[in-house]
Amino acid sequence: MGLSQIDDEDLDNERKSIEKLFKYSDTFDSTVFNSGAGSGKTYALIECLKYIISCHREDLKSHNQKIACITYTNVAADHIKQQLGVSDVVEISTIHERIWSIICNQKSAVLSLHIEKLNNEIELINNQLSSKPDYEKYRELNSSLQTHFLQLMYENKKKYNMAYNLNAAGFKAAMPKEVHQQYTELISNVSKFKGLVDKLFKRKRYIECLQKIENGEKDYKEVYYDAMYNRDRLDKMRISHDTLLEYGYKLIEKYPRMRQLVIDHYPYILIDEYQDTADIVVKIMNIVDQHAKKIKHDIFIAYFGDSVQNIYDTGVGTKLNQLHPTLSNVFKMYNRRSYSEIIDVANSVRNDEIVQKSIYSDSGGGSVKFYYGKSEEVSEFIGMCAKKWNAQNENTLHCMFATNQLVAEYSGFSKVYEVFKRAEVYQGIGYKQLNTELLSHDTVHLGKSQSLLFRLMKLYTEVRDERQPLRDIFPTDKYRDMSFHDLKLLITSLKSLDGNTLDELLIAIFNEYDTSNNQMYKLIIERIFDADEEVSYDGVLRFFLTSLYKTWDETLETKLIIQELLNMKIVELLNWFHYVHRNEKKKICYHTFHSTKGLEYENVAIILGKDFGQDKGLFETFFKEYGKSVDQISSKYEKGRNILYVAVTRAIKNLRILYIDDVGRDTG
């Protein structure tokens, strides 16, 4: 059968590395548990949790203290909860959840930071208005005319919003005569005019928000965070994921009392997949650790991960010891995931001081083969692998592509990918964000437009699933006040919203929104579309335009510019939604290299070329520089190695690699 027998000596050696970790926890010696893929880092983390619980549970309970276990994704958090079981002294969550749980009760301090951020944003807008060439004509107006212009546009805000999506000629025609009479120079360039008005409106919203905070108005007394949304709505008192970390860092840095609060409440903090953790999180941990030493309080911070598995640009990677110095180290050489044949390939790819061996004495029997071919042979290659391993829903073949486009194509949403790929924000260096903002399985990282589409497809799917709990469909508990009859009518109404394309679906949604008197329906739609101004069909078009394009052809209406987006088939959007949602009960599943991080599969097929998306020659560089000394290799080599290492180490037993370029023949 394989991977079932362990020699006592190997088990004893593995146990020693775990016991070293236990010893550091006993002495509150913050550490990093650094080891290769498949070594059981999560297993070590869970064992460490169990050890601390067994030794200190009663003491923790008596002092009202907890062990904090921080993960990179919700999926990882759920996995650890399942493996550990229920514990009343452990809190397992993503970093965003944990930071929010720490700072949310510090309402006045968070509010002060929010006021500071609002003022900074207002200052930023003022600086842009006073310096950017786009606003030169506005600067030529005296202060009274500037004030009058804002007042005029605000009085005509509805007209402005309705005309926003028209072409330049139509937009100009829709503006009040007074604009043409007094502000001819401003409206001569419609794109710059819109940019100016949007800036003025945003500044006004921020100023009014500050006034409401100062007046102590009902909904402006505290800040809140909602994991469903990935953009700030500062004027609505809601912060995004990045701003949450920013506030957390500032509070920890500024207030010793906040550091004390963390130390007193969480004497043990364990961080999973440290290499993917943002720099700012490690900085927070270092501040807390140093403060604990200063005041001679005990705290144990342990990082679990592997710097070679750092494949995200936002992760701390090799900078851990630079940002959090004086950490003790624990290494583990044993692999608990893969057969020896896979481990040998992984060691060869990694080619550094960490050389793994299987913990199992019966680890032979895996299969690895490397093929050369052409791009037109990919389907045949996948079919060959599926046939070889008798791929079924219960025995899935997992295919990994170095190009996102192929993942989208084979997963059934190629048009969705193409539309976003052509959007202006993803041109040039922006292309690197496309993988994360469109294909990430962690919705925290989806782009603004993609996040909206995800929420929309989530509702579309859930109202059609009779097994879906109502609490997951509705954004608030207000549905509990509705009668069963009214709930049934609401679900029927939501289910009836449909169309072949995104545009048809949007039209159906807003036709109902404009005519319905059902407040719960309106609330659901408002939560999904999360508009800066009023919720409307035109407002959604504008949101897509401004999120995906920085500049656009003024002779075209918005609908023409984003026509491809609106023409996307609902069936493709659903395929994309299910891909992001990891609905993988299929014979063959397709993945980007990044999306498989932390996962493992019995059968893996990798399709590889010399390039990695916009990273031209990434794998070509890896093969050419392979075996050279550290001072001779490039950062491109390290990036290629890390990505390839993560890819090959997903395999448990069977691995096939198809290389569809010729460079490997020359480089060996």
Residue 651 pairs in a beta bridge with 601
Closest Cα partner for 590 from 441, 418, 416, 433?
441
* Annotated binding-site residue? 36: yes
Q: Copy the structure tokens of residue 238.
A: 């809601």
Residues 563 and 552 sit within 8 Å (Cβ to Cβ): no
Count Cβ atoms within 10 A of the Cβ of residue 283 and give its class: 0-12 exposed, 13-18 middle, 19 or more buried: middle
* Annotated binding-site residue? 458: no
User: From CA 89, how far away is CA 64, in angstroms rounded?
Assistant: 9
* Annotated binding-site residue? 39: yes
Q: Residues with Cβ < 8 Å from 550, sequence gap 6 or more? A: 424, 425
* Annotated binding-site residue? 202: no
Count Cβ atoms within 10 A of the Cβ of residue 51 and give its class: 0-12 exposed, 13-18 middle, 19 or more buried: middle
User: From CA 372, how far away is CA 378, in angstroms rounded?
Assistant: 11
DSSP state, residue 90: E
Residues 109 and 118 sit within 8 Å (Cβ to Cβ): no
* Annotated binding-site residue? 42: yes
Can you say how many angstroms the Cα of residue 294 is from the centroid of all Cα atoms in its chain? 35
* Annotated binding-site residue? 358: no
Query: Hey, what's the torsion of the CAs at 7, 8, 14, 16, to 10 degrees?
Result: -160
Rounded to 5 degrees, φ, ψ at 462 are: -70, -35
User: From CA 381, how far away is CA 397, in angstroms rounded?
Assistant: 12
Residues 565 and 500 sit within 8 Å (Cβ to Cβ): no
Classify strands 588-592 and 601-608 as parallel, antiparallel or unpaired: unpaired
CA geometry: angle 448, 245, 459, nearest 5 deg = 35
Residues 592 and 435 sit within 8 Å (Cβ to Cβ): yes
Known binding-site residues for ATP equal 35-42
Known binding-site residues equal 35-42
